[in-house]
Amino acid sequence: MEVVVNDDNFHAEYQQGAPGFTIATRLRPDTREFFAVIEGQLRFTLEGQPAPIVATPTSIINIPKKTAYSVEVIGNVPALWVDANQQQFKTLFPAEGPKPPAAPGLTVLKIGMSAAGVPGAYTGNNKPHFNLRDAEKDPKFNGQNVVQDDHMWAQAIWGYEKNLPPYDPNDKGHFHVGTAEWWIILEGQIRHNIETVRDFTSNAGDIVYAPASTWHATRFAGPGPSCRLATSTYQFTSLLEVPPD
Residue 208's pLDDT is 98
- Distance, CA of 110 to CA of 129 (rounded, Å): 31
- Distance, CA of 30 to CA of 151 (rounded, Å): 11
Q: Which domains does the chain have, with CATH numbers?
A: 2-115 (2.60.120.10), 134-240 (2.60.120.10)
* Angle at alpha carbon of residue 74, lines to 21 and 145, rounded to 5°: 100
Residue 239's pLDDT is 54
- Distance, CA of 177 to CA of 13 (rounded, Å): 24
Distances (CA, A) of 235 to 145, 148, 230: 10, 8, 10
Is the pTM of the predicted complex or chain greater than 0.85? Answer: yes
**CA max distance for the chain:** 67
Single-letter residue type at 111: I
Q: What does the pLDDT profile of the chain (245 residues) look like in tens digits? A: 999 999 999 999 999 999 999 999 999 999 999 999 999 999 999 999 999 999 999 999 999 999 999 999 999 999 999 999 999 899 988 877 677 767 777 777 666 655 456 788 899 889 999 999 999 999 999 999 999 988 899 999 999 999 999 999 999 999 888 889 999 999 999 999 999 998 999 999 999 999 999 999 999 999 989 999 999 987 555 555 545 44
User: Strand order of the sheet with strand 174-176?
Assistant: 198-203, 189-194, 216-221, 174-176, 238-240
Q: Which has the closest alpha carbon to 189: 225, 229, 164, 217? A: 225
Residue 177's pLDDT is 85
